[in-house]
Amino acid sequence: MDNLICNINTTLLEAWKIINNNGKNIVFVIDEMNTLKGVLTDGDIRSYLINRQDFNIQISEIMNTNFVAANINTSTKDLMLLFNEQIRIIPLISDDKKLVDYVEFNNAIYIPVAIPDLKGNEFKYLTDAFLSTWISSSGKYISRFEDEFSKYCGTKYGVAVSNGTVALHLALETLCIGKEDEVIVPDLTFAATINSVLHANAKPIIVDIEMDSWCISPGEIRKAITPKTKAIIPVHLYGQVCNMEEIMKIAREHNLFVIEDCAEAHGAEFDGHKVGSIGDIGCFSFFGNKVITTGEGGMCITNNKYLNDKMRVLRDHGMSKTKRYWHDYVGYNYRMTNLQASIGVAQLERIEEIISNRKGLEKLYREGLKNAQNIIFQRDDLQKRKKITWFVNVLFEKGRNEILEALREEGIDARPFFYPLSTMPIYKNYILSNKCALEISEMGINLPTNSFVNSSIIDKIKNIIQTVQSNDQ
């Protein structure tokens, strides 16, 4: 209830933050005596902003005073008559018009697997970028995001790009990896990892994962090395960290580049070093379901000035930084916009809070599902590895598909693990080893991991799991 209320003296900007946080698209406006004075919806705010841009106006001037409310003693039958396509939430008031509670009509409960956490300065900075008119690939927020994110990761340089996939491709192109070169990738990963290698005209070599971490196996990397091997792309899968000590040792022995795919592991660490700062280039995604987001977006980080400078040129059409419209390379338009970067700066301000909240939710899941049968949570005790919670990830030794179907039928958007690359015909020519990846993929589920998941939802998930398991016995 507290997340649906704002004072009559609240500004439009503050009210919009409350609406954004509560996920209900509405706030109830009260005075100092808790008397309900009006309601304000996100639609009301958008309608106002079409003609004006005063974010500091008090909501008392634009709130809707002609609203539908009901007495706290109104019967359920009578309440149902008040709902329609436009009215889905009704405030409940006492006889003296004090706000007491609310009732919501919802004929389909839906728990998404991920929701962006936008509770900080995102809207403030986005508005600032918008009003500055610097809305494309120039503006103060781009350099600020690059500087602050690279510093957070422990590197000297950051190059913001339009998404995580192009971050990987940009890294490969910068390292001059191309035709006849081989790049070792894990079997269990999102397709962007292998696709970036193919787009660079190099040959991916698919190798198996470790059973305990689900990340690329250093032993399988060793088996895959040939005279044509040029690079390794370790993927810090589902927030877990690869064995970077062994991988870097192998890379040094064979003079190989290491491009870390950190799309799902912002803030994770190996031996006290954040992922992305260990290899030659670290690549991140800021898609909407990632730990921090810019909607779409990505970043390459490095400690190497030459690589940083070259990435910046390739990112911007291959154009010289000293001679405008002179092109030294056949480059790309891989730039991030100032609007995206403004959201990224706000997200980065709260990254430790976001990571902590996700870790707390995983702890809640572990406690709530401890009595479920044949369930294995992602390891968080591997030596030198400090994983983060991207999704809460579990394995079911049997009944995985039945559990997924039962959860979906109840409006809970759990996801299966990625298909191993080796199972897809388009990648069949690149397989070296895949036994563990096949096994883990068949058992894995990503559970909903967002700020709206609470103990009652976890209890519901537990009951669904136990019902499926009992039916299978």
Q: Specify the pLDDT at position 130.
A: 94
Task: Give the CATH number of domain 122-349.
Answer: 3.40.640.10
Q: Specify the pLDDT at position 451.
A: 85
Residue 152 — φ and ψ, nearest 5°?
A: -60, -40
Q: Specify the pLDDT at position 436.
A: 98
Q: Specify the pLDDT at position 24.
A: 87
pLDDT at 419 over 90: yes
Q: Specify the pLDDT at position 16.
A: 87
Residue 144 tokens read as 């600020």
Q: Specify the pLDDT at position 109.
A: 61
pLDDT at 149 over 70: yes
pLDDT at 452 over 90: no
Identify whether the C-beta of residue 216 lies closer than 8 Å to the C-beta of residue 204: no
Q: Specify the pLDDT at position 3.
A: 87
pLDDT digits 0-9 by tens, 170-180: 999 999 999 99
Task: Give the CATH number of domain 352-472.
Answer: 3.90.1150.10
Bridge pairing between strands 89-93 and 70-71: parallel
Top pLDDT among 53 and 342 is at 342
The model carries a pTM of 0.84
Contacts of 64 (CB under 8 A, 6+ apart): 38, 39, 40, 41, 44
Q: Specify the pLDDT at position 354.
A: 97
Identify the CA nearest to 397 among candidates 445, 463, 437.
445
User: Which of 23-37, 80-94, 131-145 bottoms out in mean pLDDT, i.e. has the lowest?
Assistant: 80-94
b/e 177-207 (16+ beta carbons within 10 angstroms → b): beeebbbbbbbbbbebbbbbbbebebbbbbb
* Mean pLDDT value across residues 27-34: 95
Q: Specify the pLDDT at position 2.
A: 84
Q: Specify the pLDDT at position 71.
A: 94
Q: Specify the pLDDT at position 284.
A: 98
- Percentage of the chain beyond pLDDT 90 is 85
Tokens 């979906």 — which residue? 408
Q: Specify the pLDDT at position 462.
A: 95
* Mean pLDDT value across residues 135-151: 97
* Mean pLDDT value across residues 67-93: 88
* Mean pLDDT value across residues 269-296: 98
* Mean pLDDT value across residues 343-361: 98
pLDDT at 107 over 70: no
* Mean pLDDT value across residues 334-358: 98
- Per-residue confidence at 473, pLDDT binned at 50, 70, 90? low
Q: Does domain 2-104 have CATH number 3.40.50.300?
A: no
pLDDT at 88 over 90: no
Identify whether the C-beta of residue 215 lies closer than 8 Å to the C-beta of residue 241: yes
Question: For residues 380 and 5, what is the distance between their CA atoms, to the nearest angstrom?
Answer: 39
Task: Give me the residue spans of the domains in the chain.
Answer: 2-104, 122-349, 352-472
Contacts 24+ apart (CB under 8 A), 137-140: 137/316, 137/335, 137/336, 137/337, 137/338, 138/338, 139/337, 139/338, 139/341, 139/342, 140/338
pLDDT at 147 over 80: yes
* Mean pLDDT value across residues 81-89: 86
pLDDT at 128 over 70: yes
Question: For residues 57 and 44, what is the distance between their CA atoms, to the nearest angstrom?
Answer: 13
pLDDT at 167 over 90: yes
* Mean pLDDT value across residues 288-304: 98
pLDDT digits 0-9 by tens, 379-396: 999 999 999 999 999 999
* Torsion angle, alpha carbons of 139, 287, 240, 199, to 10: -90
Summary mean pLDDT of the chain: 95
Q: Specify the pLDDT at position 176.
A: 98
